Amino acid sequence: MENKKLVVGNMKMNLTLYEVENYVTEMKDYKDCVICPSSVFCSIFEQNGYIVGLQNISEYDNGAYTGEVSTAQANSLNIKYVIIGHSERREYFKESDEAINKKVKKALKDNLKVILCVGETLTEREEDRTKDKIKRQLLEDLKNIDVNSQNLIIAYEPIWAIGTGKIPSNDQIIDVVSFIKTTLKQELNIDSKVLYGGSTNENNIDDLNTIDIIDGFLVGGACLSPAKFKKIIETTR
């Protein structure tokens, strides 16, 4: 079990109560993953024995912040993980690197395992700016963190691969994931797991799983289908 790759399902804003109840039953033999549902459904997964993560977290303690979820609330629900800085949060909700840095600090301080997402747009890749972008994101998002590296995980998610069915070649993934690991070590003295995310599915998982340097997968669309997600989890066991 020690070397098993970490599989994280990012359900985004999908599924209703009835669908969640069916999902929980169908996936009962596949709890060796982290599931990140909409926050309203976290308790259902947790009470059914799943390891649960949030898709976002507040940088604030508690109080008058309508619509937010705090680390204290997450801890009280036995939520273990939180995804921070997903490209959809950065783009649609205008989350800046500064705000993401505050969230990372707050979550680590309160003992949540942070999955920090970084990645380039198609234009940035075409203009050979992938590594500059990712280095900037890592340095700004992790600025002055008091890091317990066990609790920090990076997800490399090329934005052009998210939900598109396109994925980078294995060599491109190896190149960027190695770069992330080297940068973390050299600049911040952190050894961190690095996941790959972006159109991981039941058809490409066999091939992706051969990439040793990847420590796991952040799966969006395919985690919504128990059949597809089971195949991904099984392959990484």
Binding residue for ligand PGA (CB under 6 A) from 79, 157, 184, 232?
157
Cα dihedral value 175, 177, 183, 189, nearest 10: -140
Name the DSSP class of 170: H
Distance CA 208, CA 173 (A): 9
Query: By C-beta, is 168 or 197 nearer to ligand PGA?
Result: 197
Residues 5-44 that bind ligand PGA (CB under 6 A): 10
Whether 157 is a known active-site residue: answer yes
Beta strands (DSSP E) in the chain are 6-10, 34-36, 51-54, 81-84, 113-118, 152-156, 193-197, 216-219
Residues 199-218 that bind ligand PGA (CB under 6 A): 199-200, 218
Q: Name the active-site residue from 59, 86, 88, 124.
A: 86
The identity of residue 179, as a single letter, is F
Size of the site for ligand PGA (CB under 6 A): 13
- Residue facing ligand PGA at closest CB distance: 220
Binding residue for ligand PGA (CB under 6 A) from 114, 162, 190, 232?
162
Whether 86 is a known active-site residue: answer yes
236 touching ligand PGA, by CB under 6 A: no
| CA separation, residue 77 to residues 36, 54, 69, 107 (Å) | 13, 11, 11, 14
* Residues with catalytic function: 86, 157
Binding site for ligand PGA (CB under 6 A): 10, 157, 162-163, 197-200, 218-222
